[in-house]
Amino acid sequence: MLTKTELQAIWGRYGFRPEKRLGQNFLIDKNIKKKIVANLDIHPKDIIIEIGPGFGELTSELAGRSSMVYAIEIDKRICEILRAEPNLPQNLTIVRGDFLNLNIKEIAKGKKTVVYGNLPYYITSPIIEKIISEREHIKCAYLVTQAEVAERIVAQPNSKRIGRLSLFVQQFTDPRILFKIKKGSFYPTPQVDSAFIRLEVLEKSRARVQNEEALSRVIKIAYGKRRKTIFNALKATGIGNNELLEILKQAGVEPRARAENLSLEDFRRISDLIGS
């Protein structure tokens, strides 16, 4: 892995300057790299998709442990620098492009891939949404995110951090914070600390709801007015007061509770009672 001085030397040679708008904060801490590698459960037959390899801080390591790595990098300059590297692993394909437009199904070829990415923070949520919506082709994702986002992802009911992101991610994956990373481990130094997380895709959704879209709609409405009671917030569904009170009663949800007090299972019961 490259130290800050080595990174700066490469940048000097190629006239490269990191772009803030592309979330370019590169890992420069050897101990964190070791810790990341030690936490990866990768098998020799796995296909890995790396989001934003940068200067290959982890890429060779990933290639050495898997059958194939597709490294998706949006920055043309970085792709050129990476491709000029004389000892690129044979099983590495550098793809210049936006991860958000990647055809994961095509890469997976009927198998389940492992996704790795020290994420460009400006698109953390869209990346997580893409991973989840294409989870059929993914078994697990290892991601470096802002520490605050990681905490929101694993948040449980009755905590201030729980929200739509927590429920969405927890409905389809088993999310874990593996460890926190101080902002000084990256260069240029970002504003906030990070966390290394794992999202293990569940075979079946956590809450066995009749209609996933209806569940997501109810959660959206409830969190659209998270300061209101769940009874008042769900009036926006158009359901009359008496019927709504009956639904909440049957779902075992206190009408004066707020969205943040409800579990996925509470939302599932409400959603199934409301219907699609």
Residues that bind ligand SAM (CB under 6 A): 22-27, 51-54, 57-58, 72-75, 78, 98-100, 118, 120, 123
Q: How far is the CB of 197 from ligand SAM (least distance, A)?
A: 14
Q: Phi and psi for 145 in degrees, rounded to 5?
A: -130, 170
Q: Cβ closer to ligand SAM: 23 or 175? A: 23
Q: How far is the CB of 126 from ligand SAM (least distance, A)?
A: 9
- Alpha-carbon gap, residue 276 to 268, rounded angstroms: 12
Q: Cβ closer to ligand SAM: 74 or 247? A: 74
Q: Cβ closer to ligand SAM: 106 or 203? A: 106
Q: How far is the CB of 260 from ligand SAM (least distance, A)?
A: 30
Q: How far is the CB of 143 from ligand SAM (least distance, A)?
A: 11
Q: How far is the CB of 80 from ligand SAM (least distance, A)?
A: 13
- Alpha-carbon gap, residue 247 to 71, rounded angstroms: 48
Q: Cβ closer to ligand SAM: 155 or 181? A: 181
Q: Cβ closer to ligand SAM: 180 or 256? A: 180
